[in-house]
Amino acid sequence: MDTHEFIEIEEKYGAHNYHPLDVVIERGEGVWVYDVDGKKYLDCLSA
């Protein structure tokens, strides 16, 4: 599945109490997270 398909599922079944980012995280390593399309992001949103 790609990002678009995951987002469609989230919009259909997810709670709509906030506006999510248009990123689907597949895995994380330390401060880095990777989306299902292979892009790398610095995780500045974790708590």
pTM over 0.85: no
Q: What is the pLDDT of residues 3-43, one digit of tens each?
A: 999 999 999 998 888 877 889 999 999 999 999 999 999 99
Q: Per-domain residue ranges for the chain?
A: 3-42
Q: What is the DSSP letter of 23?
A: -
> How many whole angstroms separate alpha carbon 19 and alpha carbon 24?
14
pLDDT band at 46 (very low <50, low <70, confident <90, very high): low
Bridge partners of residue 40, in order along the sequence: 34
Name the token pair of 19.
């506006």
